[in-house]
Amino acid sequence: MRASSPRAVRETLTSRRRRDLLRGDGRLFIVAADHPARGALAVGRNPFAMADRYDLLDRLATALSRPGVDGVLGTPDIIDDLAALGLLDDKIIVGSMNRGGLRGASFEMDDRMTGYDVPSMVEAGIDVAKTLIRVNLDDAGTAPTLAAMADAVTQAAAAELPIMLEPFLSRWVDGRIVNDLSTDAVILSVAIASGLGASSAYTWMKLPVVDDMERVMAATTMPTLLLGGDSGVDPDETFAAWEDALSLPGVRGLTVGRTLLYPPDGNVAAAVDIAAGLVHPSL
């Protein structure tokens, strides 16, 4: 299809059956798959776990087939593949915007927009925008990144497109970027991200589960999805932490990728079903 009928790829996306962002219990469970476009292919100790696109699509197809999975977060290449496979009817699509801060690059903090932009998402019927906002007080690349994020928030609000911000305080450690997951750092990152753009009316947050999540959620009035992080942590501990955080005011659900797509036991369906049950207890 990509070689002989590229227009059909586009048409399968724009003609898909859409749904309301919030319905039923008003909570969302989104599977994330935008890591490869930033050169982040590792899962746990396997540095190329996400390199096989056919394997990744197979895992995503399994996840999207499970009850309670509301949608997917991805870059245009991933979303186009899933649309061409007919897997996005009645699903929420979250479009990933900035993947220019390639993992390990000297310019990693200059995280430019290299994926979706607001006009293309509106035209294609993408339901939600998403940006990664890493703030490094010792790296000048943070300044243009913040300016670009602010512009994206302004454009999204003008288009009435919900936009999900994923903020971190980050720093260079031994030549690589490390995100500070202390409670105080997450709260500070939320404060910085919240002020971006000319309107916050359509702004959501995408936040890590850290210690004292009550304080974190007290720092924002914006609807929030919890992110899942990397695979490799004890699954039972991870699920328990998600369950506790999902009970907090303002938390609307989960957006999780590698933890569920590449579980330690290889059973994608079982891992997804557990997480779906946490988000949608009535399942």
Taken in order of first residue, the domains within the chain and their CATH numbers are 6-279 (3.20.20.70)
3-class secondary structure, 30: strand
Is a pLDDT exceeding 80 seen at residue 157?
Answer: yes
Task: Please tell me the pTM assigned to this model.
Answer: 0.95
Residues of 213-227 as b/e, b for ≥16 C-beta within 10 angstroms?
beebbebbebbbbbb
- Look at residue 131 in the predicted model and tell me its pLDDT: 98
Helix (H) or strand (E) holding 204: strand 203-208
Is a pLDDT exceeding 90 seen at residue 44?
Answer: no
**End-to-end distance of the chain based on CA atoms, in angstroms?**
36
- Look at residue 238 in the predicted model and tell me its pLDDT: 86
- Look at residue 237 in the predicted model and tell me its pLDDT: 84
Q: What is the pLDDT of residues 11-41, one digit of tens each?
A: 999 999 999 999 999 999 999 999 999 999 9
Is a pLDDT exceeding 80 seen at residue 162?
Answer: yes
Q: What is the mean predicted confidence (pLDDT) over 161-168?
A: 98
Of 101, 88, 84, 95, nearest in space to 120 by CA: 95
